[in-house]
Amino acid sequence: MARPKPLSGFPEFLPEERIVEQTVLDTLRETFELHGFSSIETRAVEPLTQLSRKGEITKEVYVVRRLHADEADKDELGLHFDLTVPLARWVLEHSGSLQFPFRRYQIQKVWRGERPQEGRYREFTQADIDILGQGSLASHHDVEAPLVMLEALETLHERIGLPPVLMHVNNRKLSEGFYRGLGIEDTLAVLQVVDKYGKIGAQATAELLVSELGLSAEVADKCVQLATIRSDDTDFVGQVRALGVTGDLLDEGLAELAALVVEANKRVPGRICADLSIARGLDYYTGCVYETELVGFEQMGSISSGGRYDSLASDGRTSYPGVGISLGVTRLLGPLLARKQFVVSRPVPTCVLVAVDSEQTRDQALDVAAALRARGIPTEVAPKADKYGKQIRHADRRGIPFVWFGPIVGEVKDIRSGDQQPADAGDWMPDEADLHPRVLPAE
């Protein structure tokens, strides 16, 4: 059989890379649960009608059909391309069993049929948190959700040397209120053009506003002036006022964004900035919006984004407004792993290899392994009763730091230093740093 070729856009990590990924996922779970978020999992497929609720996405969706489906099987299903649309459906189905505000986190694979490139994949793991209300949701949750994600990313910075992040925040009420104050009716169309500002720049954005949307050059210039405003504190409020546009919705958005920036600077100083070019072109956002970049790796684009939505989930009688933020785990790790940004202390979970004297005494080795595992020490038994030198070399190639010789009361050798000491499998314990693989920042 010929060697298979990898499928572009479907990354598969090696064991040491998976150790990095699992460390990240464990840290995310730990942080989310510390803040009271409950884990859920939704099915991989949704009806295409459900997937298309948030806008024109048909070019991104992988359609799922049974190979031998007959004419009567008319169900059109697609793999979910994010975790927010499935959440909306899930909440509507299970609302009678939930207590609100409902706090959920979800870590799952998602699929998108876009062109693969660095940091952009067709299959990847995403981690989301959302807070949903029933009928209404207090605005302080718009501050809470991004701060929880920033706490998780800051913890990863401290634990494994993940590069620091900077979260760019805006408020759709601010932008929409500003555009209305200029007399613009189709504010969503303007937002979707301004969403390209970071990629195409001020001049090209202004030209698109004029050529595609028919805005006057003066009005387009005002929109671009708003998008250029950026501030690490609440100075942006005065800069917006100086543009001479007024309106109640604009005032509401300014107040909400200022509250987010003030609170974030208390909790995670230096990790957030008001950036009025952030638009989040999807039509369901209604309040604060967030995009996050890795400092020093800005070319990767946003690794974590989200915002407030007031009408994504509704059954016609009750609406379930929410706020959420997602982290593209594979999008974050893929480029960093390719750049050898992390070092793993060993590529296997095994801490101890129990040597086998002969196949006749393998049961003795199995007893030692069982005793060590019972105390939480990852252990495997040598695959062959080779000479001890070969068994030590096997452990070394695998990255296993310790080799055990003899029965329960035997000897353990640290093959890195060559130190060998008497030990009892009933009480011997390696140093905490050696018990499990550790992820370290590259030097």
Asked if 404 contacts 411 with a C-beta cutoff of 8 angstroms, the reply is yes
Is it the case that residue 441 has pLDDT exceeding 90? no
15-41+99-342 has CATH 3.20.20.60 classification: no
Sign of CA dihedral 151, 141, 91, 280: negative
Q: Is 130 annotated as a binding residue?
A: yes
pLDDT of residue 113: 87
Going by pLDDT thresholds of 50, 70 and 90, the confidence category of residue 18 is very high
**Amino acid letter, 19:** I
Please list the alpha-helical segments (H only) found in 212-301. 217-227, 235-241, 248-267
With H, G, I as helix, E, B as strand and everything else as coil, classify residue 294. strand
Cα–Cα dist 140/13, whole Å: 39
Q: CA angle at residue 197 from 163 to 53, to 5 degrees?
A: 90
- pTM passes above 0.75: yes
Closest CA to 183 of 152, 219, 135, 130: 219
pLDDT band at 51 (very low <50, low <70, confident <90, very high): confident
**What pLDDT score does 1 carry?**
65
Q: Please give the structure tokens belonging to residue 191.
A: 């937002």
- Percentage above 70 pLDDT, the chain: 97
Domain range list for the chain: 15-41+99-342, 352-430
* Nearest partner of 321 among 269, 295, 284, judged by Cα: 284
Residue 23 in marked binding region: no
Q: Are strands 420-424 and 409-414 parallel, antiparallel or unpaired?
A: antiparallel
Tokens of 78: 């697609």
* Structure confidence at residue 383 as a pLDDT band (50, 70, 90): very high
Is 174 part of any known ligand binding site?
no
Q: How far apart are CA 366 and CA 372, in angstroms?
A: 10
Q: Which amino acid is at 125?
A: T
- The alpha-carbon radius of gyration of the chain (Å, integer) is 27
Average pLDDT of the chain, as a whole number: 92
Give yes or no for a contact between 245 and 181, defined as CB atoms under 8 angstroms apart: yes
pLDDT for res 338 = 92
pLDDT given for residue 123 in this prediction: 95
Q: In the predicted model, is pLDDT for residue 397 greater than 90?
A: yes
82 is in an annotated binding site: yes
Q: Tell me the per-residue pLDDT of 96-132, one tens digit each, with 9 for 90 and over.
A: 999 999 999 999 999 998 888 887 899 999 999 999 9
Distance, C-alpha 440 to centroid of its chain: 20
pLDDT score at 2: 78
* Residue 285 assigned to a binding site: yes
Q: Does domain 352-430 have CATH number 1.25.10.10?
A: no
- What is the model's pLDDT at position 110? 96
Q: Is the pLDDT of residue 282 over 80?
A: no
DSSP string, 101-154: SEEEEEEEEEE--SPPBTTB-SEEEEEEEEEE-BSB--THHHHHHHHHHHHHHH
Q: Which residues contact 119 (CB under 8 A, 6 or more apart)?
A: 300, 301, 331, 334, 335
Q: How far is CA 322 from CA 141, 144, 307, in A?
A: 9, 12, 9
Is 364:404 a contact under the CB 8 Å cutoff? no
Predicted pLDDT at 420: 97
What six digits make up the tokens of 91?
A: 């909440």
pLDDT at residue 55 above 60? no
Q: Around Cβ 214, how many Cβ atoms within 10 Å? A: 11
What residues have CB less than 8 Å from 157, skipping those under 6 apart? 163, 164, 165
Long-range contacts, 359-362 (Cβ 8 Å, 24+): 359/385
DSSP SS3 for 374: helix
Q: Is the pLDDT of residue 396 over 70?
A: yes
Strands 285-294 and 165-171: antiparallel
User: Is the torsion defined by CA of 39, 41, 42, 45 positive or negative?
Assistant: positive
pLDDT score at 312: 75
User: Omega before 101 cis (within 30°)?
Assistant: yes
Of the pLDDT bands very low, low, confident and very high (cuts 50, 70, 90), residue 297 is: very high
Alpha helix (H) ranges present in 268-387?
A: 329-338, 362-374
Run of H or E including 230: strand 230-231
* Closest listed residue to residue 98, CA positions, set 396, 320, 268: 320
In this prediction, residues 48-63 reach a mean pLDDT of: 70
pLDDT digits over 139-153, tens only? 999 999 999 999 999
- Using the structure block, give the residue that is written with the tokens 């302080």: 140
Return the pLDDT at 284. Answer: 79
